[in-house]
Structure 1
Amino acid sequence: MASMTIRNIDDRMKQKLRVRAATHGRSMEDEARDILKMVLAQQETTAGNLAGAIRARLQPLGGVELELPAREPIRDVPDFSAL
C-alpha cells in the first residue's frame, strides 16, 4: 500500500481536520483517508460547453428580448501621416 506526505497545510485546515477526526472518533490520518475516498468515489463531471451549461441553468427562468441597436457604417481609417 502506498503512503503520501502532504506539506504546507494551512493551520486552519489542519485544525478543522483535527476537530472532524475527533468528532468521528478516529485519527487525522484516517479522517483524511476517508475524505479522499469520499471525494474520489464521486462521479466526475465531464467538461462540456460552457454556453450550453449557462443556457440550461437559466432557461427555466425565461428569456429576455433585447432590442438590437441599428448598425452604423464603418468609420474611415484615421490619417496619421501628419504626425
Structure 2
Amino acid sequence: MYEQNYAYQEDNRGGEVKYVSLYDPFLMQTLQSLLGRMVVVETSKGSVHGKLADAKPDHVSVQTKEATFFIRVQEIVWVMPK
C-alpha cells in the first residue's frame, strides 16, 4: 500500500541514505475501520478521547472538542472504540 523506503540523499561514499519506518498493517486496518467513530487512543504520554478523523501510515488525527491531535503511530499503545 505505502512504500516508505525513500533514497533522498547521497553520501560522500556513493551510498544511499534511506528513510525507514515500521508499518503495522493490522493496526492500519483497525484504524481504517474506526474512521469517523469515537475512540480512545492510549499513547506513551497518556490517552486521547475523540473522533478518529484520519489514519495515515505514520500518524492518526483525533478530533476533540478543544483541538485536533496528530499522534505518531509509533506512540500508540492501544486503540479502543468508545
**Which structure features the higher share of helix residues?**
1
Larger gyration radius, structure 1 or structure 2 = 1
TM-score (norm 1): 0.24
TM-score (norm 2): 0.25
**Which structure features the higher share of strand residues?**
2
